[in-house]
Homo-oligomer: A and B are copies of this chain.
Amino acid sequence: MTDRVSDTSSPIGLIAGGGVLPFAVADSLTARGLKPVFFALKGVCDPERVSHFPHHWIAVGQIGKVVRLLRAENCRDLVFIGTLVRPALSEIRLDWGTIRVMGQVLAAFRGGDDHLLSGIGRILERDGFRMMGIKDIAPDLLMPAGCLTRKTPDRSAAADIAKGLDVLRALSPFDVGQAVVVIDGHVIGVEGIEGTDALLARVAQLRAEGRIRTKAARGVLVKAPKHGQDLRYDLPTLGPQTIENAAAAGLAGLAVVAGNTLVAEPQALVGKADASNLFVVGLSA
């Protein structure tokens, strides 16, 4: 599983934002004999947890500092990982390395979060680094194919899954629709930019209002990566919270395209799904 990493003797740089994922990746690397080095974003990455790993603190905008530190650590492979709220311009600490490439950074900044990260990624790649995705460095954190839970989809749920995949396929040319909710053959909700949690909250609300008339524990959330999404920078993520929201929406389960979706805390996720009698299925891509 480590054949995509250039050199197991040189450490892998984790440019780390918030949340639990950077540490899950670091643990996965360590378990496979690889060495993580954190480049932890100030005010975002968890200081207590990062203290257990080799790390440096950086601020957004310090591309020159990052490049210097990466070279000093002999890192060639890099990954961006963790949540990053778009920083206010006033929080950005510019350094000479950044000012040198300012034109490209500003162009990326104007393009939205995904483009900001991939823009900075391109700049770092021109400096000789290799931008990796979780898929490359920690494939064990990706959604596997098959059913993870005690509960499995019945025939009605299988039909809802097939319909949901059809809808996502139809939407894939439009850079929209990572997720859809189908209940008893009816397409109830389609995700725009609001995110999967907001979609599930909407379904819960429609149930509370009596707008969904089928009984609870029916219907499926079907989730797939967007067509053309650069999965090194923006991997769809599934966590215990997704299960809670799907249970609140009265669904029977979740079906997620395998291999391209990150599972934030797999044990907690499966435990919660079993406790709520929901199925979680990885679909072969």
Residues of A in contact with B (beta carbons under 8 Å apart): 112, 163, 166-167, 170-171, 173-177, 181, 186-194, 198, 202, 206, 211-213
CB distance from A116 to the nearest CB of B (A): 12
Contact A213 B181 (CB under 8 A): no
A212 to B112, CA, bound (A): 10
- Other CB < 8 Å A-B pairs besides A166-B174, A176-B190, 16 of them? A163-B174, A170-B170, A170-B173, A170-B174, A175-B186, A175-B187, A177-B187, A186-B193, A187-B193, A188-B192, A189-B193, A189-B194, A192-B202, A193-B206, A194-B202, A202-B202
CB distance from A195 to the nearest CB of B (A): 9
Contact A176 B181 (CB under 8 A): no
Copies, count? 2
By Cβ-Cβ distance, the 8 closest A-B pairs, closest first, are A189-B192, A176-B187, A190-B190, A170-B170, A174-B187, A190-B192, A188-B192, A167-B174
A171 is contacted by which of B171, B186, B211 (Cβ under 8 Å)?
Answer: B171
Can you sample 13 A-B contacts with CB below 8 Å?
A112-B213, A163-B174, A166-B173, A166-B174, A167-B176, A171-B190, A175-B186, A188-B192, A189-B194, A193-B212, A194-B202, A198-B202, A202-B202
Which residues on B sit within 8 Å (CB–CB) of A174? 163, 166-167, 170, 187
